[in-house]
Amino acid sequence: MKSTNTVWHNATVTRERREGQNDHKGVALWFTGLSGSGKSTLAHTVEEALHQKGCRTYVFDGDNVRHGLCADLGFSTEDRSENIRRIGEMVRLFVDAGVIALTAFISPFRKDRQGVRQRVTSDDFIEVYCRCPLEICEQRDVKGLYKRARAGEIPEFTGISSPYEEPQNAELILDTGTTSLTDCVDQVLRLLGERGVINSGQLRAASGTGKTRG
């Protein structure tokens, strides 16, 4: 922090009071994986399931964030790290607000994901690895990005000309190339129940709301 003239203000409305009002805990659900692995689809479907039960949620989507908060960043290693650092700080604030914050970012580098875990604290950080073979991601390629990357039109593209470092200790690994969306959603919700983020009533109401991947 550059300034030495700022002092942290402790609010009277605490995280515990917000979580009590929300009837669930705040947590960071960090979905990571290659482009086309299903991160965004899964994050938004999980959010829909939680929202239907009245949970306070917000999805930080990689493309959406780059339209505003991180519009000044490119895709160099340094810019990717800064992108994740900014998101990590935003997510930390949302968790403090008692919100279930879901993110859908490739976040290819372990050190960046570990940095967010440390900022949010490990107890509040759930890393969900959407594991999907590159060939399946390329077959999906709904945005045509892999085709352009293969043609050399997109430099530093993860999985093609830039590395993806797989999580070594993710809280949940989902084989999104072969597992239905419904099953993936149910696994995420079950983990939230096991960790006490949502209660058993919310878990029953939220389960089964996903749609099978077509």
Residue 106 CA: distances (Å) to CA of 23, 39, 118: 30, 8, 18
Tokens 């149910």 belong to which residue?
Answer: 186
- CA distance linking residue 155 with residue 51, whole number of Å: 38
Positions marked active-site:
107
- CA distance linking residue 128 with residue 113, whole number of Å: 11
Q: Phi/psi class of residue 131: alpha, beta or left (left: φ > 0; alpha: ψ in -120 to 50)?
A: beta
Sheet holding 57-61, edge to edge: 57-61, 100-104, 27-32, 125-131, 172-175
- Asked if 105 contacts 84 with a C-beta cutoff of 8 angstroms, the reply is yes
